[in-house]
Structure 1
Amino acid sequence: MPETRFGELVLRRWPRRRGETLQAFDGADRYLLRLLEEEGAGPATLVINDQCGALWLGATDRGPTWSAGDDWVARRAALANGEDNQRPLNADHWLWPGDAPTATPDQVLMRLPKSLSLLEAQLAWLAEILPVDTPILVAGMDKHLPGQLVPLMERYLGYGQAGHGWKKARVFRARAPGKVLQPAPAPGEVAVPGRGWTLSAGPGVFARRHLDIGARFLLDHLPRDVSGEVADLGCGNGVLGLSLAADNANARVTFCDVSWLAVDSARRNAAALFGDGHRHEFHLGNGLDGLERRFDVILLNPPFHRGHAVDDGVARTLFRHAHRHLAPGGELRVVANGHLPYRRNLAKLFGQADRLAANDKFVIYRCVND
């Protein structure tokens, strides 16, 4: 199992994969912890968007630390790395969106998220919860820095300043205004053709402004006459599972995602369409891990990135989850870019992977659990 050393720590990504090629930390983590050591205002630290626990574990040496984020896998990676290094982290100090630390932090260490809408929501949250003048350090790798970062910090925090680069990372500084200067962005609105629906999508949720073109293609090829258990795996705002549920009254859909904000978006959309008494369920976690039931249908529009990195390992992991959790005779429907070599991966698991439909960009595979 590949390991990467971060000072005295040995860190790994989650889930643990043989032949892992991505590190569990980067120069932005190193830069933030170096500045914490040199400039820290006090012992208590709020960490935001930690990848695998490097910041949470590093700041905990100084005093009480809370880690805030949207990603279940990031939380699980941090807790596992704490256990591996005999430095267990307090799981109660993880903050999902909307939570607040139980004490006042002296400083904030923030990694830039990939999504600008999530960044805006987090900056607005910091303005709301922090005492005036709490120092905020924001860092990211040079190749991923958004051009409008300083103006965004000025809009939400009243001030933003670019600092020096170090090890291909750059830090930006601000101080909490002690009051809300700009409300967080409203949820995105996604129109669903042919349904008359407008679905909401929280900050950072995939395709939060427009229906993803892969999902749009799969919507035209959803199974009919479905009853029993269905999983919308990697559900985002829930458009696939919601559409299937609308056409199949005897189906119960479990909406699954690694993102808290995605699962929350799917839950809100289901309530808006079907009422609060609907029978559908919601699962925050790594794919289908933690679910005991088997599914008659699984729908999947898999990602081929982890953060900024192109990586089909997430898709291959979800294929294995689907194979493990399909009921006998159950089927998996996958939409993917036509150039990706998923048919080989699927056929190896299921014995076959039928091309149900294709266009100039996407292909839909149908796999049956015989």
Structure 2
Amino acid sequence: MDLRRFPDVEGPGLVAVDAADRLILDEAAAFTDGLTRDDVVVIDDAYGALTLGLLEAVDGDGTIRVHQDLLTGERALAANAERLAITGFSSVPFGPDAVRGARLVVLRLPRSLDRLAEVAQLIAAHAASDVVVVAGGRIKHMTPRMNDMLGQVFERVDVTHARQKSRVLLARGPRSDTARDLLLSQPHAERHDDPNLVIAAHGGVFAGTGIDIGTRLLVEHLGGADGAEVLDLGCGNGTVAAWFARAHPDARVIATDRSAAAVASALATAEANGVEVDVRRSDGAETITGGSLDLVLLNPPFHSDAAVSTGIAEHLFADAARVLRPGGELWCVWNSHLRYRGALERTVGPTRQIARNRKFTVTASTRR
């Protein structure tokens, strides 16, 4: 299947379909007899390989429900389906209706055990009693704890033979009452005395309920940043947005992330700290009017899937430059070995170092 990652970052080593996708589809084929598309759910399909493959395998009318955490993945699926003239699926938000009554759930295993737990609990609580979960991934990202976690909410968990460094887990017999009880604890929350914040997070969000060391360094030095219109770009669990909103109660703080789980987490973090933040699911700053902001705060990722890639950071730098007013500032924390200063100078404007430790650098770039 000839698929693209667009609008996600594309480049060498970044693929839209891999061996795990193909193995998942082959294993799922054993459970499609007698099903309609309404019986089938796909969760966290990367770029559409699972959804489009199942549409070919499942006969009959109806619509396959698809939830993808990343907005870019959702858009890539739509773009690939349009290019290949394939219909018969619907993108849905994460929640009980996404899996209600499902008899086959096909899942790309997340790397986060917390994300797998939240997804598995949702399926076990709300799918059909005869549901089969076909969950696969690359072996290097799988651990025995995934089997153990699935075993908490399903009666039976089987492991398939490996193929091309990929493997599939099969889960059956949902323990629905146990799953509902576990779901009540979502999202998790943790209080941090320094910087005196409660951080809430759903499964799979970067740093979870913690504060990663890069974000902590940025927050420690944000006393020199100011603005009435502020954006936390790629907000994750909402640490930076909540801190700034509390420190500057008169500021309008917006937070964006392409992850639905991150958006839900940032909203929960803002609520837990009694501050108002306008949180949006967005690919970068696409929902922000150009030249409208005084300040952008950013801790950019440097991985796309398993590959190290500066493409996402460069995309976010360009977004920051577009939405900042002349004289506005981008405050950014980044892994020092990536040497982003040149890119920041070219894309945004004059850049000065605010802080640096053994691993991270904080800079402020002024929009030309």
Tell me if both proteins adopt one fold, taking TM over 0.5 as the criterion. Answer: yes
Residue 36 of structure 2 corresponds to 43
Distance in structure 1 (CA, Å) of the matches to 2:97 and 2:320: 35
Structure 1 or 2: larger helix share? 2
Q: CA shift at 1:17, angstroms?
A: 4.9
Q: CA shift at 1:249, angstroms?
A: 2.5
Identity within the alignment, %: 32
Is structure 2 residue 72 aligned with structure 1 residue 73? yes
Distance in structure 2 (CA, Å) of the matches to 1:18 and 1:138: 25
Counterpart code for 2:50: L
Distance in structure 2 (CA, Å) of the matches to 1:286 and 1:225: 24
Residue 208 of structure 2 corresponds to 208
Distance in structure 2 (CA, Å) of the matches to 1:148 and 1:205: 19
Counting only pairs closer than 5 Å after superposition, residues 342-353 of structure 1 correspond to structure 2 as: 342-353=340-351
Distance in structure 1 (CA, Å) of the matches to 2:223 and 2:3: 42
Q: CA shift at 1:257, angstroms?
A: 0.7
Q: CA shift at 1:358, angstroms?
A: 0.8
Q: 1:166 to 1:83 in 2, by over 3 A?
A: same
Q: 1:18 to 1:162 in 2, by over 3 A?
A: closer
Distance in structure 1 (CA, Å) of the matches to 2:73 and 2:10: 18
Q: 1:274 to 1:235 in 2, by over 3 A?
A: same
Residue 3 of structure 1 corresponds to none
Residue 53 of structure 2 corresponds to 58
- The answer on whether the counterparts of 2:99 and 2:126 sit within 8 Å (CA) in structure 1 is no
Counterpart code for 1:113: P
Q: 1:355 to 1:249 in 2, by over 3 A?
A: same
**Range moving further from structure 2, 67-76 or 35-44:** 35-44
Residue 187 of structure 1 corresponds to 187
Residue 196 of structure 1 corresponds to 196
Distance in structure 1 (CA, Å) of the matches to 2:124 and 2:296: 41
Residue 11 of structure 1 corresponds to 3
Residue 150 of structure 2 corresponds to 153
Q: 1:307 to 1:346 in 2, by over 3 A?
A: same
Residue 143 of structure 1 corresponds to 140
Q: CA shift at 1:319, angstroms?
A: 0.7
Corresponding residue to 1:100 among 94, 97, 101: 97
Q: CA shift at 1:263, angstroms?
A: 1.1
Counterpart code for 1:269: T
Counterpart code for 1:359: N
Q: CA shift at 1:99, angstroms?
A: 4.5
Counterpart code for 1:304: F
Distance in structure 1 (CA, Å) of the matches to 2:120 and 2:171: 10
Distance in structure 2 (CA, Å) of the matches to 1:189 and 1:178: 25
Counting only pairs closer than 5 Å after superposition, residues 1-370 of structure 1 correspond to structure 2 as: 6=1, 10-15=2-7, 17=9, 19-41=11-33, 42-44=35-37, 45-61=40-56, 62-63=58-59, 64-88=63-87, 90=89, 93-101=90-98, 104-177=101-174, 179-182=176-179, 183-184=182-183, 186-224=186-224, 226-274=226-274, 278=276, 280-292=277-289, 294-370=292-368
* 3-state SS, counterpart of residue 200 of structure 1: strand
* 3-state SS, counterpart of residue 209 of structure 1: coil
Distance in structure 2 (CA, Å) of the matches to 1:271 and 1:128: 26
- The answer on whether the counterparts of 1:24 and 1:52 sit within 8 Å (CA) in structure 2 is yes
Q: Which sections of structure 2, spanning at least 5 residues, go unmatched?
A: none
- The answer on whether the counterparts of 2:99 and 2:122 sit within 8 Å (CA) in structure 1 is no
Q: CA shift at 1:18, angstroms?
A: 6.2
Paired residues in the alignment total 357
TM-score by length of 2: 0.90
Distance in structure 1 (CA, Å) of the matches to 2:304 and 2:288: 23
Q: Which sections of structure 1, spanning at least 5 residues, go unmatched?
A: 1-5
- The answer on whether the counterparts of 1:299 and 1:333 sit within 8 Å (CA) in structure 2 is yes
- The answer on whether the counterparts of 1:225 and 1:248 sit within 8 Å (CA) in structure 2 is no
Q: CA shift at 1:284, angstroms?
A: 0.3
Distance in structure 2 (CA, Å) of the matches to 1:225 and 1:171: 48
Counterpart code for 1:131: A
- The answer on whether the counterparts of 2:100 and 2:127 sit within 8 Å (CA) in structure 1 is no
